A and B are shown apart, each in its own frame.
Chain A
Amino acid sequence: MPKLRGAFKMINKTASAMLVLVFLGLYLMSGQGAAQDSTGRLSVSEYKLRAAYLYNFSKFIRWPESAFESKDAALVIGLLGEDVPMEIGELLNSKRIGSRPIEVRQYRTGESMDDCHLLYLESSRNWMPVLRTLKSSRVITVGDAPSFADDGGAIQLVTIRQRLRFIINLKAPGFTGVELDSRLLSLALEIKK
């Protein structure tokens, strides 16, 4: 047993020395990275994350010139509901896609939504009838209801492993006439053909 005791002691000494070093190192570094939350992970409100997705989708989808009134007409992102947080609109309004500015429009239920390019339908809203009225329109719908893509929506956002992913439904009417960047398809969780 004395041998084992010796080993215990040796490890103990090294461990204490190491601890001192580590504490010192940590002390010098404390104060950094304070903006992160306590779990050490990046956290954003789910709305802002959705705004970022919409912005990215509009970059990876190329609408034909005929989908715009003029060369520098805005790319219109629609949101269903007038109480969508202002941040989404503000964040997106400041962005451009190439030469085109982004314009965010908030729609009320019952309004015509044909004049936007990308339309976000939150699952808590009455999105089903909207999707039905857009059956023959070129609007690319984005939604996060569990059956959104199966019910004819174009892009369904899915929360999986606490991260936002998306499913693309190529059968959706909005995809006719637009060009999709291959990167968009390669990142999709699932592609419905």
Chain B
Amino acid sequence: MRREIWITVNFVVCFLLYSMVTPLFVSAGDEDILEMDLANLMDVQITSAGRKSQVLSDVPAAVYVINREKIFESGATTIAEALRLVPGLQVARINANRWAISSRGFNGTFSNKLLVQIDGRSVYTPSYSGVYWDLQHVLLEDVDRIEVIRGPGATLWGANAVNGIINVITLPASDTQGGLVSLGTGTHEKLMAGARVGTKLNTDTYARFYAMGNDRDSFVKASDGSDGHDGWKNGQAGFRIDGDKGIRHAWTLQGDIFRVESEQDVAIRPVPQFPYNDAIVDSVKSHGGNILGRWTSKNSKQDIWTAQAYYDYNTRDEYSLGQTHHTLDMDFQHRFQPSGGHDVVWGMGYRMVRDDFSNTFQVQIMPEAQTTHLFSGFVQDEITIIDDLLWLTLGSKIEDNDYTGVELQPNARILWRPAKRHSFWTSVARAVRTPSRMEDSGRILQGIIPFPMYTQISLNGSPEYDAEKLIALETGYRYAATNNFSADISLFYNRYTDLGGIVQEEDRWTMYFANNVKGNTYGMEFAVTWLPVEWLETEFTYSCLQMDITGDAYSKKTIEETSPSHQAGLRLGIDLKKNLRLNLWVRYTGEIKFMDFTNTDRYRYVVDDSFALDANIRWQINGNMDLTVAGQNLLDGDFMEYGSDSYLTPIEIQRTLYAKITWRF
């Protein structure tokens, strides 16, 4: 890892030196434009104005878009941190390198009802159906937006999109021409380095290449304030090429490689010999890569098809398990308007996942290697019932997976726009989460009782484990008065059946994953953006969540109490001067509690409700360069944001400061 970081650092240095001797781009006045030859004229980019407050008035779902400005205004340094902006998402930093992120409840270290995609590539791990957030990186400067859909979106996106979908979308290479270097350092972020070169390969083909590296310090243990052993480093490099073939066809080829090395403080690890249970500091090593190709053909504005294929490889090694996944995914989508009033999208997909595990004394998955196939198809029709007033969307996905067979995931949505600025929507949808490899065929040793009789406490997968099911009712309203004011509210009522829980055998020490839990959740999410004066931008978000779960005591308490009931956020962006902006962000998070594994009436950790303040100031030194000085968690020097629902030692997140400079040329 040290070498990889060094390669990244060296790359950045060379890049800097190179760019320093290269003259800065000379700006062109009116006369120069006329003197430019035709080939150069075709490179002049038309900047689109007023993209800042885009209104999504015609989507019949609870959508929130984090655009690139918001990412920088938030001071976030990772995708996970940026997701705190979204009302209705639960984002908690477990330790320096791990996050618990979910939508509409069910949060946990291994939360599993969220589909996350980066440029159309799914990044959830099939072994537990969750996301290793420490492995998901993009050069934030190249991100166009992060679209978050709360609630089921299974019809278009497929299984696992039960409680939400997160789509990270990067800019096409044509929008990232030129060079960029960003470099930062701070109390926690010891090194943040990124570099990108964007270039034109020929008249119709644009490319960019990037490299990034981060080195982050550890936080402290909640118990005694000693080193939390959770520092981490990552290095990543990649490319994206976008091309056109005539006016109708466009294609993309992109890929990344990455390496991440992190530490974790393990509170309890069962070992076969005396003392049977110990605590260790473990080093987690991960690496991977992916390549994706996409072809889009637009026969007319109403007739577009897209074909996409990708291959993704990643491997993660830790004390408890080594896991490698190879994923091959192919998708086809076609959108057309067969007659007036119908807008149809249909598609087909195939995904092959080959896994390969290195079992340990603690965790075993049998068989150690396996290949699964997933076939899917979907169709959706948006029907205009009354022009410019009422739309009905009907659709369903049908999926055939190796664990539970055929799953149907239909949805119906209505959008009503009684006036130009007002829109109401309502929907009913069914979604399923198919079993993970662990739930199907894993065995996790939780601990060992050495006396009076050597006993292993284990949690076991079961081939009978079925898909979790959800019927969701949602409704929402959007109001976009002007570009300066918009409000968005959504309400949901979710009914889950066959949720994952735990059943014990008679001996009490052998447990199984089972679908013995069900329940209802309901809640509300609210976001309002207001720009009262030209130099001030404000955003307020609030969400509440209630969960009524029935099942085994452990599952019930864990599900109900590890997601906060109330969350709120207030962001202020103040333009102090034309080139100086101050961003303030206050967040409130309700209490969460972690039950004691051995006694469901006691709590191991109680995380009090809390306020957090992030602030940053961004100075545009000139047109090409800006400097950000940011502070995170400024109110509290050390606080526990999440307790622990796993083997990880509870960690206190610290107040952090960093400075970062970004230079474009």
Q: Do A and B come from one complex?
A: yes
The answer, yes or no, to whether B24 is at the interface (CB within 8 Å) is yes
Determine if A52 and B263 form an interchain contact, defined as CB atoms under 8 angstroms apart: no
- Residue among A31, A60, A164 with the highest chain B CB neighbour number at 10 A: A164
Tell me which residues across on chain A come within 8 A of B27, comparing CB atoms: 33, 35-36, 42
Which residues between 153 and 200 of chain B lie within 8 Å of chain A, taking CB atoms?
172, 174-175, 177-178, 180, 183-185, 190-191, 193
Tell me which residues across on chain B come within 8 A of A158, comparing CB atoms: 247
A90 to chain B, nearest CB (A): 9
Q: A1-B229, A26-B663 are in contact. Are A60 and B38 (CB under 8 A)?
A: yes
A159 to chain B, nearest CB (A): 7
Determine if A87 and B47 form an interchain contact, defined as CB atoms under 8 angstroms apart: no
From A12, A34, A92, A163, B45 is in contact (CB under 8 Å) with A163
The answer, yes or no, to whether B33 is at the interface (CB within 8 Å) is yes
Determine if B623 and A35 form an interchain contact, defined as CB atoms under 8 angstroms apart: yes
- Residue among B31, B44, B244 with the highest chain A CB neighbour number at 10 A: B44
Determine if B33 and A32 form an interchain contact, defined as CB atoms under 8 angstroms apart: no
Number of B residues whose C-beta is below 8 Å from A?
Answer: 66
The answer, yes or no, to whether B242 is at the interface (CB within 8 Å) is yes
Q: A8-B215, A95-B34, A190-B246 are in contact. Are A164 and B47 (CB under 8 A)?
A: no
Q: Mark B496-519, 1 if CB is under 8 A from A, else 0.
A: 000000000000000000000000
Determine if B16 and A22 form an interchain contact, defined as CB atoms under 8 angstroms apart: yes
Number of A residues whose C-beta is below 8 Å from B?
Answer: 59
Tell me which residues across on chain A come within 8 A of B13, comparing CB atoms: 18
From B31, B46, B190, B622, A32 is in contact (CB under 8 Å) with B622
Which residues between 205 and 244 of chain B lie within 8 Å of chain A, taking CB atoms?
206, 215, 217, 229, 231, 233, 242, 244
The answer, yes or no, to whether B615 is at the interface (CB within 8 Å) is no
A159 to B217, CA, bound (A): 47
The answer, yes or no, to whether B656 is at the interface (CB within 8 Å) is no
A18 to B18, CA, bound (A): 15
The answer, yes or no, to whether A86 is at the interface (CB within 8 Å) is no
Determine if A33 and B24 form an interchain contact, defined as CB atoms under 8 angstroms apart: yes
Q: Mark B1-43, 1 if CB is under 8 A from A, else 0.
A: 1100110010001001000100011011011011011110111
A157 to B350, CA, bound (A): 39
Tell me which residues across on chain B come within 8 A of A19, comparing CB atoms: 183-185
From A11, A42, A190, B247 is in contact (CB under 8 Å) with A190
Tell me which residues across on chain B come within 8 A of A39, comparing CB atoms: 47, 664
Which residues between 593 and 616 of chain B lie within 8 Å of chain A, taking CB atoms?
none
Residues of B participating in the A interface, judged by any CB pair closer than 8 Å? 1-2, 5-6, 9, 13, 16, 20, 24-25, 27-28, 30-31, 33-34, 36-39, 41-48, 172, 174-175, 177-178, 180, 183-185, 190-191, 193, 203-204, 206, 215, 217, 229, 231, 233, 242, 244, 246-247, 263, 281, 283, 301, 620-625, 661, 663-665
Known: A40-B25, A40-B665, A164-B41. 10 other contacts (CB 8 A): A1-B229, A8-B190, A18-B13, A25-B20, A30-B625, A37-B47, A40-B180, A41-B178, A161-B242, A165-B42
Top 10 A-B pairs, shortest CB-CB distance:
A40-B664, A35-B27, A161-B174, A36-B623, A15-B191, A43-B47, A33-B24, A56-B38, A7-B2, A190-B246
